[in-house]
Amino acid sequence: MTDNAKNDADMKAQVQDVIDRIRPMLQADGGDIELVNVDENTGMVSVRLQGACKGCPGAAMTLKMGVERHLKEKVPAVKGVVAVQ
């Protein structure tokens, strides 16, 4: 495994760990979150909101103030989070 591939895997594992810690809060409100992609080069994380979170008027706030904030705190390489379909 090259150093870049190892770093990508490490960052993805770190992001997944944070998402796994956030997930119960979303599930408590009938929603969920799935990690879709981590782009090591840009620091962007793609997630898919599911259940009650999908299409919820507060989803953008949850994404930025909840998910993105937690990820940036725990994984400094993360620059932003986007929701994908």
pTM as predicted: 0.86
Q: Out of 3.30.300.130, 3.40.50.1100, 3.10.20.30, 3.30.70.360, which CATH number does the structure's domain 3-83 have?
A: 3.30.300.130
Tell me: the pLDDT tens digits for 1-59?
555 555 667 999 999 999 999 999 999 989 999 999 999 999 999 999 999 888 888 88
Q: What pLDDT, on the 0 to 100 scale, is given for residue 50?
A: 93
Tokens representing 21? 């810690």
- Residue 80 to residues 37, 39, 76: CA-CA distances in angstroms? 12, 10, 10
Tokens of 23: 């997930």
C-alpha 46/C-alpha 82 separation (Å) is: 5
